[in-house]
Amino acid sequence: MVSVATRHAEILDGRPLAEQIKREVAIEVARLFQEGAEKPCLAAVRVGEDPASAVYVRNKVRACEEVGLASELHALSESTTTEQLLELIGGLNRREEIDGILVQLPLPEQIDEQKIIEAVDPSKDVDGFHPMNVGFLAMGQARFVPCTPAGIIELLERNKIEIAGTAACIVGRSQIVGRPVASLLLQRHATVTICHSRTRDLAAVTRQADILVAAIGRPALIRGDFIKPGATVIDVGINRVTDIEAAHELFGNEADDRIDAIKRLGYTLVGDVHPAEADLIANRRTPVPGGIGLLTVAMLMRNTLQAAKWRRGLD
């Protein structure tokens, strides 16, 4: 076996690219919406007090400030009903000064999530989840691309990683990541395979991929023997690790910083890919944290700007 000292995958850091995309959005906002003009506005809706959702929404509101977008936060109680949330969304749909609507998922179990997704005006659906926007994406005529898949494509293209003619494998078939990223890769002439919980001999399938996207929501599921030597591995997962011994095994030479995090915070984060084993085999991989999550927020800013341009006849 190749040692960690002699083989280490290149880390595809999402931070500099996310900052670059946000700078591009900020320049465009300043150009199109001069002083005195009404800024594009994102309305973010959060239901309940889930700590992870609160952090995600807070990061999105902060990013709006950074790029010069206006934002509104609507924080609703855990007991909110489907009807109450539909009423709020209907009001946001009618308000001309609102350009984008984000409903943070998942929602509490008493709320009909599909009804909520379908209630958002497709022209304000900056998450790209409305069936109309899903259909446009499937036809290769995307209006709003879901933010995480859009960030994955930006990462590949701006790092000049070849897509056309490659074998790509996505582990996970969600409407939020797996299926849309498969469509985007297919439109760029990759040969695409989607794997899921019923896939037989998952490792044998993923080992064929030049580009491997892990979005299954299971910590460190993708081990070294799942990866083709020299592959590019995109890790979308965000999972908590609280055990120090597990951190030793997962992070290898980088375990000390992760163990410090566990001692300070009670946890550290790992994706759906086993990082120490992936580093022995892959040519490139994204880190968790610091990878695709940052790009997701940056692409939301770009989608909100695009919504404002379309709605105001500026594009």
Q: Which active-site residues does the annotation give?
A: 60, 104, 127
How many C-beta atoms surround the C-beta of residue 1 within 10 A? Answer: 6
> Using an 8 Å Cβ cutoff, are 239 and 269 in contact?
yes
Place of tokens 């999972």: 239
φ and ψ of 238, to 5 deg:
-135, 110
> Using an 8 Å Cβ cutoff, are 240 and 267 in contact?
yes
Sign of CA dihedral 130, 135, 141, 142: positive
Strands 167-171 and 211-214: parallel
Angle in degrees, 0-180, between the axes of helices 292-311 and 51-67, rounded to the nearest 10: 60
CA distance linking residue 263 with residue 39, whole number of Å: 43
> Using an 8 Å Cβ cutoff, are 238 and 290 in contact?
no
